[in-house]
Amino acid sequence: MYASIRGSRRPSTPRKSRLTFRLAVLASTVALGAAGLAVAATPSSAATCNGYVGLTFDDGPTGSTSALLSVLRANGVRATMFNVGQNVQNNQSAARAQVDAGMWVANHSWNHAHMTSMNQSQMQSDLSQTNSAIQAATGIRPQLFRPPYGETNSTLQSVASSLGLRQVIWDVDSQDWNGASVSQIVSNASRLQDGQVILMHDGIQNTRDAIPQIMANLTSRNLCPGMISPSTGRAVAPDGTPPPTTPPPTGTPTTPPPSGGCTATATTPNVWGDRYNTSVTVQGASNWTVVVALTPPQRVSTTWNGSPSWDSTGYVMTMRSNGSGNTFGFTTMMNGNSGARPQIRSCTAG
Ligand SMILES: [Zn+2]
């Protein structure tokens, strides 16, 4: 089990983080005052991806998988989760949440044993059972396998291959399992080059806290989080993720917000086939209320870093600050309408 791997695991408590949104893709900027009259749409610069890196999180799902997913989503990260089969079986909803958050799920053995001491049939049974558990929980058949401790041999590789699993070790070890500080994890991640893969873990507070800085460093080098190719084992551009479309018209550009209001800026950092994430940053107030309207039949499935309430139609969300900072986010299910994006109706201070 993950509790026994490579050094001790300290219990960690999920905590709300002040998250800075850094990955601006095609941004729809809507500035609107308390009076509710001014709407302006301004495209911002697109993020440039000159290369891709594979961020990987091993040993989940854990009790803090949802905290990890929240940080990843808020920072526009898609990552590969090397799951332990037994953990998946014991926490199927967390495995499903990984996929719902846009993560890729992969095989990290049934119970984190030292697999090089197994015979061929034990290896076969271990990896098959894990594949089955992941598929049962998520509907997705893993294509990637990482041996526990990175320990492998030719028998294990051929067994994995026979099950359609590409073995993936890592290029950079974050050392998060070894008690690395946030700054050490960030520093280790800064060595990542195009195509490379970094080892991190689910269930470690320092790892979660490092993610905003890791993303800032990658963005400054025009590197983007990618998927790991099952054919090469290298990080590549995600597939099934069309680039964000041009934001829809959001009204007539008019005046800046009146004093006393605040400004809410919405971006769409992630778009998948059936859903997308929106990140909204509020300026001008630390206590704020932002009203967001959806286009039916789109529906919000998840929110983070704010307290939402809904009108009777279910298409107008009022999000209030809850002490988690000035950036909140939400996932919208397209439900067949892939073009519409949420409209910010107002931003009110207090
Ligand atoms: Zn592991």
The yes-or-no verdict on residue 254 having pLDDT over 70 is no
Query: Could you give phi then psi for residue 328, rounded to 5 degrees?
Result: -120, 170
Q: How far is the CA of 97 from the centre of ligand 1 (A)?
A: 20
- Centre of ligand 1 to C-alpha 72, Å, is 19
CA of 177 to the centre of ligand 1 (A): 9
Q: How far is the CA of 109 from the centre of ligand 1 (A)?
A: 9
For residues 251-274, average pLDDT: 64
Residue 148 CA to ligand 1 centre (angstroms): 5
Task: Retrieve residue 308's tokens.
Answer: 């939402």
Instruction: For residues 314-323, give the mean pLDDT.
Output: 84
What is the pLDDT confidence band of residue 284, given thresholds at 50, 70 and 90? confident
Which of 241, 255, 340, 243 lies closest to 292 in space, CA to CA? 340
- 0.85 exceeded by pTM: no
In this model, does residue 105 exceed pLDDT 80? Answer: yes
Q: Which amino acid is at 2?
A: Y
What does pLDDT average to over the chain? 82
CA of 130 to the centre of ligand 1 (A): 14
Question: Which of 3-7, 100-104, 275-279 has the highest average model confidence (pLDDT)?
Answer: 100-104
- CB atoms near residue 350 (< 10 Å): 12
Instruction: Please state the rounded mean pLDDT for residues 44-71.
Output: 90
**CA of residue 199 to ligand 1 center, whole Å:** 9
CA–centroid distance, residue 149 to ligand 1 (Å): 6
Token duo for residue 80: 């590969």
Task: Find the mean pLDDT for residues 40-47.
Answer: 40
**Ranges 59-73, 102-116, 138-152, 278-292: which has the least confidence:** 278-292
Give pLDDT tens digits for 268-282: 777 777 787 888 888
- Angle at CA of residue 103, ends 221 and 163, nearest 5°: 115
